[in-house]
């Protein structure tokens, strides 16, 4: 519990464009808080004085991001009853959920849709039922412009028909429908339909590390830095330079929108608008324009290999973000240069290979001891079982070491050396706050 700030602080929060009035701090569960967007949202919530618990299975996320934010991590699948029990039960009363966890690769969802419906619909519905049980009635949800499919006109407003063209988009829409239905139970639910999220934190601590990386900016930066060819799909679209046009939004602007959404959830009149908000800048950027921005940021040329259009890629997707501006008092503030520049600074520190930070997380005692060759996997499993069976002794990694010692599975010297390694590893992980 040492993570938390004092509770129930009525405060005056300030952002660069807005002054909030006396919002009480909330304890918020952020699913997917170890991921790219989630880690920025956690940071923004903390900076506004909210307490945060992260629920993440680390399938694509990074424990190091959670550590940098200094908040507790419940490691587990959001559809797993035991993980939900811990998330909602172990850290005090959760007052709101920001549901960001999800699978998000549209082409993969076409080839293998099952996991998309399991992760993006079935699991989250279990979580909604757990929220009901714990009387948690606020949720902000990471939806996507993929729910619109190929829009009939631009810019896209929230009343544009929802017509997804991939199982990914359908799974996100299905959960939007579930949220609409659960309003009958008193749930206040706001789906935020993000357009293309990009950029990194200004200080280079948080950014985008996906494996495989499918997003444009990290791939352009890698191509520029490594001198590898960049595949440009489609040069004959009906856009100003023939390449696909998208609405790119800086991840820090996006994170700020979540804080505002959460804080205004209670006062929104859900009958007076379509129930979801688009988050974008309202300006489209083509692939060639982004390519020039990446060349300017890195000072290097990108080698381009032109390829035919990919099936299912609409020519242009641009948001009409006016409703979010009106209801949340929010607007995107970062420009293209700061998006690409911050991403470049982040990758210059974290590497240009997606997922490369995954191993940087603080290893648990058992993992470290196995890695050092001091104990076997079987002994660690036995010790974990003993630890679970002894009521009230908690999950401390150091205690696990003592149980291994008691079992005669580890020597005193190796116990001390493993603890030293744990300490060194956590020193290496920088803290934000």
Ligand X SMILES: NC(=O)c1ccc[n+]([C@@H]2O[C@H](COP(=O)([O-])OP(=O)(O)OC[C@H]3O[C@@H](n4cnc5c(N)ncnc54)[C@H](O)[C@@H]3O)[C@@H](O)[C@H]2O)c1
* Tokens, residue 305: 């290999």
DSSP per-residue letters across 365-402: HHHHHHHTTSS-HHHHHHHHHHHHHSTT----HHHHHH
Instruction: Write down the least CB distance from residue 416 to ligand X, Å.
Output: 33
Backbone φ, ψ for residue 233 (5° rounding): -90, 110
Looking at beta carbons only, is 197 or 220 nearer to ligand X?
197
Looking at beta carbons only, is 78 or 136 nearer to ligand X?
78
Give the position of tokens 């036995």.
382
Looking at beta carbons only, is 31 or 387 nearer to ligand X?
31
Looking at beta carbons only, is 13 or 38 nearer to ligand X?
38
Instruction: Write down the least CB distance from residue 307 to ligand X, Å.
Output: 21
Closest listed residue to residue 403, CA positions, set 424, 418, 423, 425: 418
Instruction: Write down the least CB distance from residue 60 to ligand X, Å.
Output: 3
Looking at beta carbons only, is 70 or 242 nearer to ligand X?
70
Element (H, E) at 128: helix 123-133
> Measured at the alpha carbon of residue 15, what is the angle toward residues 194 and 261, in degrees to the nearest 5?
40
- Check 91, 116, 148, 168 and give the catalytic one: 168
Instruction: Write down the least CB distance from residue 130 to ligand X, Å.
Output: 13
Closest listed residue to residue 286, CA positions, set 224, 332, 240, 345: 240
Closest listed residue to residue 219, CA positions, set 143, 304, 145, 283: 304
Looking at beta carbons only, is 100 or 400 nearer to ligand X?
100
> Measured at the alpha carbon of residue 427, what is the angle toward residues 421 and 428, in degrees to the nearest 5?
95
Element (H, E) at 414: helix 412-428
> For binding to ligand X (CB under 6 A), which residues are involved?
31-32, 34-38, 55-61, 77-78, 100-102, 104, 119, 123, 142, 144, 194, 196-197, 210
Euclidean distance between CA atoms 30 and 41, whole angstroms = 8
- From residue 86, alpha-carbon distances to 188, 379, 388 in Å are 23, 25, 14
182 catalytic? Reply is: no
Give the position of tokens 């919002």.
23
Instruction: Write down the least CB distance from residue 430 to ligand X, Å.
Output: 19
Instruction: Write down the least CB distance from residue 429 to ligand X, Å.
Output: 17
- Active-site amino acid positions: 168
């Amino acid at each position: 519990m040492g993570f938390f700030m004092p509770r129930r602080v009525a405060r005056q929060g300030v952002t660069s464009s807005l002054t909030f009035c006396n919002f009480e701090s909330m304890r918020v569960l952020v699913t997917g808080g170890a991921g790219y967007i989630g880690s920025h949202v956690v940071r923004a919530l903390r900076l506004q004085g909210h307490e945060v618990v992260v629920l993440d299975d680390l399938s694509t996320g990074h424990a190091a991001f959670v550590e940098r934010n200094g908040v507790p991590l419940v490691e587990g699948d959001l559809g797993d009853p035991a993980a939900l029990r811990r998330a909602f039960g172990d850290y005090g009363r959760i007052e709101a959920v920001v549901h960001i966890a999800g699978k998000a690769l549209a082409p993969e969802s076409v080839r293998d849709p099952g996991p998309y419906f399991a992760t993006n619909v079935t699991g989250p519905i279990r979580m909604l039922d757990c929220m009901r049980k714990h009387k948690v009635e606020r949720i902000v949800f990471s939806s996507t412009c993929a729910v619109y499919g190929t829009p009939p006109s631009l810019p896209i407003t929230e009343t544009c028909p929802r017509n997804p063209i991939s199982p990914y988009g359908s799974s996100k829409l299905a959960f939007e429908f579930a949220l609409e239905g659960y309003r009958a139970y008193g749930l206040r639910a706001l789906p935020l339909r993000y357009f293309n999220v990009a950029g990194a934190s200004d200080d280079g601590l948080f950014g985008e590390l996906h494996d495989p990386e499918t997003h444009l900016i990290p791939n352009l930066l890698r191509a520029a830095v490594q001198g590898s060819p960049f595949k440009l799909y489609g040069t004959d679209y009906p856009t100003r330079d023939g390449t696909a046009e998208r609405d790119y939004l800086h991840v820090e602007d996006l994170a700020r929108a979540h804080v505002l959404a959460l804080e205004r959830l209670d006062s929104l009149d859900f009958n007076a608008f379509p129930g979801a908000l688009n988050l974008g800048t309202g300006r489209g950027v083509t692939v060639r324009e982004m390519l020039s921005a990446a060349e300017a940021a890195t000072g290097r040329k990108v080698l381009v290999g032109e390829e035919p259009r990919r099936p299912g890629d609409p020519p242009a997707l641009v948001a009409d973000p006016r409703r979010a501006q009106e209801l949340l008092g929010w607007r995107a503030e970062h420009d293209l240069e700061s998006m690409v520049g911050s991403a470049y600074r982040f990758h210059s520190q974290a590497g240009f290979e997606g997922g490369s930070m995954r191993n940087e997380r603080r290893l648990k005692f058992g993992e470290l001891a196995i890695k050092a060759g001091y104990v076997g996997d079987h002994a660690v499993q036995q010790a974990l079982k003993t630890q679970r069976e002894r009521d009230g002794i908690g999950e401390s990694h150091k205690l696990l070491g003592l149980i291994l010692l008691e079992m005669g599975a580890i020597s005193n010297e190796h116990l001390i050396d493993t603890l030293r390694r744990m300490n060194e590893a956590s020193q290496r992980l920088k803290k934000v706050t």
